[in-house]
Amino acid sequence: MQTSNSKGNAKAERRIRRLSLHLTPAAGVAAEQLEMATCGRGKVSVDTASLSRYMRGKHRDIQEKIFAYFNANPRLQTPVEISKDEHRDLCMKQLIGLVREAGIRPLRYVVDDPSKYFAIVEAAGAVDMSLGIKLGVQYSLWGGSVLNLGTKKHKDKYFDGIDNLDYPGCFAMTELHHGSNVQGLQTAATFDPITDEFIIDTPNDGAIKWWIGNAAVHGKFATVFARLKLPTYDTKGVSDMGVHAFIVPIRDMNTHQPLPGIEIHDCGHKVGLNGVDNGALRFRSVRIPRDNLLNRFGDVSRDGKYTSSLPTVNKRFAATLGELVGGRVALAYSSVSVLKVASTIAIRYSLLRQQFGPPNKPEVSILDYQSQQHKLMPMLASTYAFHFATKNLVEKYSQMKKTHDDELVADVHALSAGLKAYITAYTAKSLSICREACGGHGYAAVNRFGILRNDHDIFQTFEGDNTVLLQQVAADLLKQYKGKFKGGTFAVTWNYLRESMNTYLSQPNPVTARWEGEDHLRDPKFQLDAFRYRTSRLLQSVAVRLRKHSKSLGDFGAWNRCLNHLLTLAESHIESVILAKFIEAMESCPDPSSQAALKLVCDLYALDRIWNDIGTYRNVDYVAPNKAKAIHKLSEYLSFQVRNIARELVDAFDLPDQVTRAPIAMRSEAYSQYTQYVGF
């Protein structure tokens, strides 16, 4: 037995040796050289101040004004534990303080200077995310709907009251039974030609307006989305003109009591954002003047005739919803802020925290563990990537608000949907990873991960459910794809597909599929090509599948049959847009040391994403096994390299301590700030 065992062992060891050669192919050569080369090269040095300057937005001044105001008013700072009712009360006080004491008047910026408006939302959200959202409800949703869907008469009547908070308001779109499917809303607004009024009615329980921010406690008005119904003189008696928006006063200006016919209930405790008072509204024959129709895209005359500059219900609906795209831009942008806070806390703590170590040596920082680098370094890289992508989105959106250029409108629409969906989903996952990466101390409420996660969670759902938004991106890609065959052009953002569609229809090149040198893998061209190849391939294949399935299943059935494929396509496209913007930002960076740091981070973002989807690349032999291995090895190595400048990279986010707040993330004396917090 012993002999046969030894023999078996020798044989097994030979096999293992052979296998190891197979698994780490030429392994030896390329990889070892890479290590030697880079070890000699040492750490990239980062000039935090210079990098920070490059990152900083142009509205830092107004943000600092906001921080200074709350810093000077401790009574307005949200404590770690607070009841729902106290939180709502405090949140309203914070908003009033911001507007009336600090003199921040956001409404004008909603249309005139969106990047300034988003900077205000970001800073308010950093004080307390409930405040950021409450501010958004008042100015972007309620105010924005009046400005964007109404006409001069509405602006004249409501602007000041909204801006100075005399008119706190709501945005009453969602119903109990209808969230994503806005065209399915049931609330009715029937024109009464006798009194020249609309009668707002909730026809059934499913049509109760639900989740309406500002409704449970503070709102005096609501923009109510309802089916416009006009009397006809045929047998039907009434004609449904589709969903329109109406200003409905909901509470008495003096007594603050709900007005007759309006029943308001409290939606109650939420997972997060409990500073925002979400309510449910039921309307029973509530009469409002005809003037309260927000009539920019469609109007009703005194005698009940409908007029619109837009020809169809669908086009009017699209125009109406199109004006709401700013909310998505704000969410994508704010989600990146949350990710910055979370990754800063997790990374600073991981540098501070020491646990285990080599025998008889001091314990090592947990960020020195490969597993911790794996959790946090690609996340840090993504945070940088998203920063530049949303910065670009905000710029595009601002330009669109000025020029109303059609192509730009389409581009911003799809891009905001895609970035909102992709980034908020990524941030949500990252918040859980950060908590877990900080172990027990990550579970202390004071260290922030709980509240950040609970508050941010709904970013994935409101202003468009992520799964629905990604389908819009996919639909848009398919529209462009089809348009191309009809001689059309691509919108700006998908421009790259024009080229890649031709390039990538051919089989992958078996030679480049094996290239595994570091220079090649870190070449932006290789990275972009890989991202775009995947998108083009997914686009072409899903178009073929849709055509095939629609014959037997119809369009709806075919779409559903390919739904996972479509979502993957949308994500792939968004990832490649993000990478392209990151590369641009890196290449435009004037300071060489900052540029070197950004290059490192950008490479990690790109290669980590490719490795995460390596199955796709392998399946079509775009990447040979040796190259797959080299990509994996290099991304682990880049994580290690980024770890070496992680402190500087989070410092460059330039978050004041009053924004991070977590004791474990303080730049000095973190542990003792923590023990003092609990009373030692």
Residue type, 545: R
Q: Which is nearer to a second copy, 83 or 403 (CB)?
A: 83
Asked if 225 and 244 count as a contact pair (C-beta separation under 8 A), the reply is yes
CA–CA dist 77, 657 (Å, integer): 14
Q: Is residue 672 involved in binding a second copy (CB under 8 A)?
A: yes
To the query of whether residue 516 is one of the catalytic residues in this protein, the response is no
Residues 6+ apart with CB under 8 A from 164: 99, 100, 105
Q: 9 vs 285, which CB is nearer to a second copy?
A: 9
DSSP E strands in 505-628: the ranges are none
Q: Which of 308, 377, 360, 26 is nearest to 151 (CA)?
A: 308
When asked if residue 89 is in the footprint of a second copy (CB under 8 A), the reply is: no
Of 382 and 568, CB closest to a second copy: 568
Shortest spacing between CB 240 and a second copy, in angstroms: 14
Q: Tell whether residue 312 is a contact of a second copy (CB under 8 A).
A: no
- Which value, to the nearest 10 degrees, does the dihedral of the CA atoms of residues 241, 247, 251, 255 take? -140
CA 662 from centroid of its chain's CA atoms:
23
Output phi, psi for 262, to 5 deg.
-110, 120
Residue 263 in contact with a second copy, rule: CB under 8 A: yes
Told to check if 176 binds a second copy by CB under 8 A, we report: yes
Among 289, 439, 483, 592, indicate the residue that binds a second copy (CB under 8 A): 439
* Cα–Cα distance, 226 to 330 (Å, whole number): 25
Which of these is catalytic: 122, 175, 197, 463?
Answer: 463
- Check binding of 514 to a second copy (CB under 8 A): no
Closer CB to a second copy, residue 178 or residue 227? 178
Kindly tell me which of 77 and 467 has the beta carbon lying closer to a second copy: 467
Q: What contacts 405, CB < 8 A, 6 or more positions away?
A: 399
From 282, 387, 413, 532, residue interacting with a second copy (rule: CB under 8 A): 282
Based on the shown chain and the rule CB under 8 A, indicate whether residue 442 belongs to the binding site for a second copy.
yes
With CB under 8 A as the contact rule, the residue among 359, 404, 510, 551 that binds a second copy is 359
Among 254, 307, 564, 668, binds a second copy (CB under 8 A): 564
Q: Is 103 annotated as a binding residue?
A: no
- Min CB(612)–a second copy separation in Å: 9
Rounded to an integer, what distance in angstroms lies between the CA atom of residue 643 and that of residue 437? 15
Name the one range near a second copy by CB under 8 A: 79-87, 120-128, 137-145, 395-403. 79-87
Minimum gap (Å) between residue 208 Cβ and a second copy: 7
Residue placing its CB nearer to a second copy in the complex, 232 or 507:
507
Nearer to a second copy (CB atom), residue 557 or residue 656: 557
- When asked if residue 358 is in the footprint of a second copy (CB under 8 A), the reply is yes
Q: What residues form DSSP beta bridges with 201? A: 188
Under the binding rule (CB under 8 A), the answer on residue 669 touching a second copy is no
At 654 the three-state DSSP class reads: coil
Residue type, 256: H
| From 130-138, 351-359, 390-398, 577-585, span contacting a second copy (CB under 8 A) | 351-359
Q: Pick from 36, 443, 483, 492: which binds a second copy (CB under 8 A)? A: 443
HSE (side-chain half, CA atoms, 13 Å) at 404: 5
Compare residues 216 and 601 and give the one whose CB is closer to a second copy.
216
Residue 310, φ and ψ in degrees, nearest 5: -110, 140
Contacts with a second copy in 12-41 (CB under 8 A)?
12-13, 15-17, 19-20, 23-24
Nearest residue (CB) to a second copy, 166 versus 621: 621
Residue 392 or 460: the one with the smaller Cβ distance to a second copy is 460
Distant-in-sequence contacts of 183-187, Cβ < 8 A, 24+ apart: 183/242, 183/243, 183/317, 185/225, 185/226, 185/227, 185/243, 186/227, 187/224, 187/225, 187/226, 187/227, 187/283
494 closest CA partner among 476, 469, 467: 476
Residues 36-55 that bind a second copy (CB under 8 A): none
Task: Choose the binding region for a second copy from 7-15, 95-103, 124-132, 524-532 (rule: CB under 8 A).
Answer: 7-15
Closest by CA position to 219, among listed 162, 291, 300, 292: 162
Q: Which of residues 458-477 bind a second copy (CB under 8 A)?
A: 458, 460-462, 465-467
* Nearer to a second copy among residue 162 and residue 539 (C-beta): 539
Q: Which of 490, 499, 578, 484 is nearest to 533 (CA)?
A: 499
| End-to-end Cα distance, the chain | 65
Rounded CA-CA distance 452/424 in Å is 12
Number of residues that bind a second copy (CB under 8 A): 121
Binding mask 109-148 for a second copy (x = CB under 8 A): ----------------------------------------
Q: In this chain, which stretch among 127-135, 527-535, 614-622, 643-651 interacts with a second copy, using CB under 8 A? A: 614-622
Among 237-245, 250-258, 412-420, 615-623, which window interacts with a second copy (CB under 8 A)?
615-623
Locate 488 and state its tokens. 């059309």
**Cα-flanking dihedrals φ and ψ of residue 653, to 5°?**
-65, -20
Compute how many other C-beta atoms are within 10 angstroms of the C-beta atom of residue 363. 12
Residue choice 196, 266, 299, 591 for contact with a second copy (CB under 8 A): 266
What are the phi and psi torsion angles at 657 (to 5°)? Answer: -55, -30
Indicate the length of the chain as a whole number.
680
Q: Is 371 in the site for a second copy (CB under 8 A)?
A: yes
Options 225-233, 237-245, 623-631, 650-658: segment touching a second copy (CB under 8 A): 623-631
Tokens for 443? 């579970």
275 and 131 in contact (C-beta within 8 Å)? yes
CA–CA gap between residue 576 and residue 525 (Å, rounded)? 12
Burial grade of 459 (CB within 10 A; 0-12, 13-18, 19 or more): buried
Task: Spell out where 74-133 has E strands.
Answer: none
Q: Which of 380, 577, 628, 642 binds a second copy (CB under 8 A)?
A: 628
Please state, in angstroms and rounded to a whole number, the distance separating the CA atoms of residues 545 and 424.
29
CB of 294 to a second copy, least distance (A): 23
Binding to a second copy (CB under 8 A): which residues in 182-241? 184, 205-206, 208, 210-211
* Residue ranges in 379-418 that form contacts with a second copy under rule CB under 8 A: none
Q: Within 524-563, which residues bind a second copy (CB under 8 A)?
A: 537, 540-541, 543-545, 548, 554-557, 560-563
Range in contact with a second copy (rule: CB under 8 A) among 117-125, 171-179, 387-395, 578-586 = 171-179
304 labelled as ligand-binding? Answer: no
Annotated binding site: 174, 213
Active site residues: 463
Binding-site sequence positions for FAD: 174, 213
